[in-house]
Amino acid sequence: MTDISKNTLDKIKKENVHPIPRHYFLFKRSVLWILFGLSIFFGSIASGIAIFLLTRVEWDVSHYLARSFIGFLLLVFPYFWLIFLLGFSIFSYIFFRHTEQGYRYKTAWIVLLSILLSIVGGALLHATKLPESLERVCEENVPFYHGLGKHRHKMWMSPHQGLLAGEITHIRSGAIIELEDLNGMKWTVHTGDAIWRGNLSPSENLQIKLIGQMKGDGQFVAYEIRPWEGQRHRGRIQRNRRMGTYR
């Protein structure tokens, strides 16, 4: 026996070193793959919510708010969920890197693969309506999340640019309605030539978005009237008004 081998054996006996059981490595490997999968799953949720928000954007009003389509995209892009997606992609990279074969792959490829898997997963989740439900839960129960939606409020509170939103408070004769906007300001809206979208008809307490033209203080001529995020959201304007933000 060589001196090196003898010294090694003496050191093992002296320090009472024991081999690590095989099941420890199996457990560690399983945990890493589970954490990697969870990171992809949560990244998919973030991606799914981002996809849902982008599909809800009314792209045809872009020319009212921005000089270019790119400018409008930058205005409505769901940055919050993009940050979540990137964050979970980084987590998935860390967990994958610590697997047995993870060291063989370049960082860029692992991150890109994680993002791609999350986007595909998000598209599949979007078909289940889960991202829509989760986004609504965040909107109604996470206080700071309301602030992230203020730009949506501002988009439709641009009467000088032809956009207005609020709640019908009174219906006059002669195709005139009274509207309280999202900031609590009263408007007289002329709807004689307006197109009502989504099978809408004038009724008090109805929450609407208008495309048209401002005609002096408190006067607005509507060309098109749309529902405020669908009738399943009735009451949201009143709730958000109490909280100080709108979606």
- Do 154 and 110 share a structural domain? no
- 183 with 156, same domain: the answer is yes
Region of 205 on the Ramachandran plot (φ > 0 left; ψ -120 to 50 alpha; else beta): left
pLDDT of residue 220: 95
Domain containing residue 236: 150-243
The total number of structural domains in the chain stands at 2
Say which residues have a Cβ less than 8 Å from residue 205's Cβ, sequence separation at least 6. Answer: 167, 168, 169
**Predicted local distance difference test score (pLDDT) of residue 147:** 65
Q: Confidence class of residue 177 from pLDDT cuts 50, 70 and 90?
A: very high
Residue 233 lies in a domain: yes
Please check the confidence at residue 17 and state whether its pLDDT lies above 90: no
**What is residue 48's predicted lDDT score, i.e. its pLDDT?**
94
User: Where a domain ends, among 86, 113, 141?
Assistant: 141
Q: What is the pLDDT of residues 106-129, one digit of tens each?
A: 888 989 999 999 999 999 999 898
19: amino acid identity, one letter: P
Both 137 and 194 in one domain: the answer is no
Is 228 found in the same domain as 136? no
- Rounded Cα–Cα distance for residues 137 and 244 (Å): 18
Question: Do 188 and 131 fall within a single domain?
Answer: no
- Mean pLDDT in the chain? 81
pTM: 0.70
Tell me which H or E stretch contains 172: strand 163-172
Q: Is 143 exposed, middle or buried (0-12, 13-18, 19+ CB in 10 A)?
A: exposed
> Which of 111, 141, 171 lies at the terminal end of a domain, its last residue?
141
DSSP-derived pairing of the beta strands 176-181 and 163-172:
antiparallel
Q: Is residue 3 part of a domain?
A: no
